[in-house]
Structure formats: structure tokens, C-alpha cells
Amino acid sequence: MTTPTTPTTPTAPTTPAPGASDTTPTAGASGTAPAHDHGPQLRWVQRAPEVYRAMIALDAAARKDVDPALAELVKIRASQLNKCAFCLDMHLTDARKAGEREERLHLLLAWAEAPDLYTPKERAALALTEAITVLTDGFVPDEVYAQAAAHFDETELAHLIALITTINAWNRFGVSTRTTPGKA
């Protein structure tokens, strides 16, 4: 059982030292990304603080009608799919602080293969998270939407979709600027 807590709000990255660059080297000639032994490529929060404030407001509004424990599972699953290390670190920490069981966190990557660990409502939310995050066919499959609609009223569903959309936006900021845990 989890207990509600206030989720961590993303914090603004610190100001670079005088003379420090806002960018780091990009992918090598082979096209592969270099190891993450550097800070962010772009300190977007400092360069676009109005966008950051808008994202914080959107995040708060999206969470409004979503159970905090479920919100963390959704954020972790989307962050896994998007390979956002910064968001994974943040939301795994938040989930643990809220009392989420380690077994559920470890198996979240394969939640569909562990049906006894997640409620039908959580499973519907996780399926919706995957469908919105990946958008393989360009839309959410009808059966995935119907399953979510069976577990959430329209207001809850609207907020859940907003939450999934918001974490995907955070992930894309994190991944595109290479924001790594502990180096924001």
C-alpha cells in the first residue's frame, strides 16, 4: 500500500560556472551518442524559463485527479520507454519515498507479465501510457482506450491522458538535452 506524498517538482538546473559552456560535444562520426560523462547539452530551463514555468503548471494541473501512487507508476513507465535517465531517477525516488514496493518497481518494465502485482485499474493506465508514449499506429487502439475508460471517469481519464502527455514532454526535454541524474 502506498501513501500519498507530494511528488518532486523538477528543479531548475544550477547556473554553470563562469566561463563554462552551455553545450557539450554531440554524437561522434559513427552517429552513436558518447557516454554520459558530461552534463546537459543545453540548460533549457535557464534559456527558456517561461517554458519551464508553463511545464510546471501543466504538470500540477495534470496530476489533479490522478492517484499519486498511480501517477508515479505512469511517469516511471513512460520514462522507461523514452529512456530518460533523469526522469527515471526522479520518479523512482518519489515512488520509494511514497512507500511503493520494490518488487512492483523492478517488474514495472514487464508489468503485463506480472498481473498479480498491479490492479486492473493500474494495468489499464499502464497500457494507456504505453499506447500514448509509443503511438505505433498513430493513435491509441480502441481496446486500450475502452479498458482505460472502464476504470476512470471522464474527468479522471482526461487528467490521466494529460499526465501521460506531460511526462512524455518532460522526457523529451530530458533526453534531447541529455539531462542526467545528479547533473541537472
Q: What is the CATH number of the domain that holds 97?
A: 1.20.1290.10
CA 31 remoteness from chain centre: 26
Give the residue-averaged pLDDT of 162-173: 97
Domain membership flag for residue 7: no
Residue 97 lies in a domain: yes
For range 54-66, the mean pLDDT = 96
Q: How far apart are CA 77 and CA 108, in angstroms?
A: 7
Any domain includes 81? yes
In a domain, 15, yes or no: no
> 74 and 104 in contact (C-beta within 8 Å)?
no
pLDDT surpasses 90 at 157: yes
**Quick one: cell of 61?**
494541473
Domain containing residue 120: 51-176
Model-wide pTM > 0.75: yes
Q: Does residue 160 contact residue 152 with C-beta atoms inside 8 Å?
A: yes
Region 131-137: what's the mean pLDDT?
89
Q: Is the pLDDT of residue 107 over 50?
A: yes
Q: Which amino acid is at 16?
A: P
Residue at 98 is within a domain: yes
Non-local CB neighbours of 134 within 8 Å, separated by 6+ positions: 81
Q: Can you tell me the distance from the alpha carbon of 122 to that of 135, in angstroms, rounded to the nearest whole number?
A: 19
Q: How confident is the model at residue 38 (pLDDT cuts 50, 70, 90)?
A: low
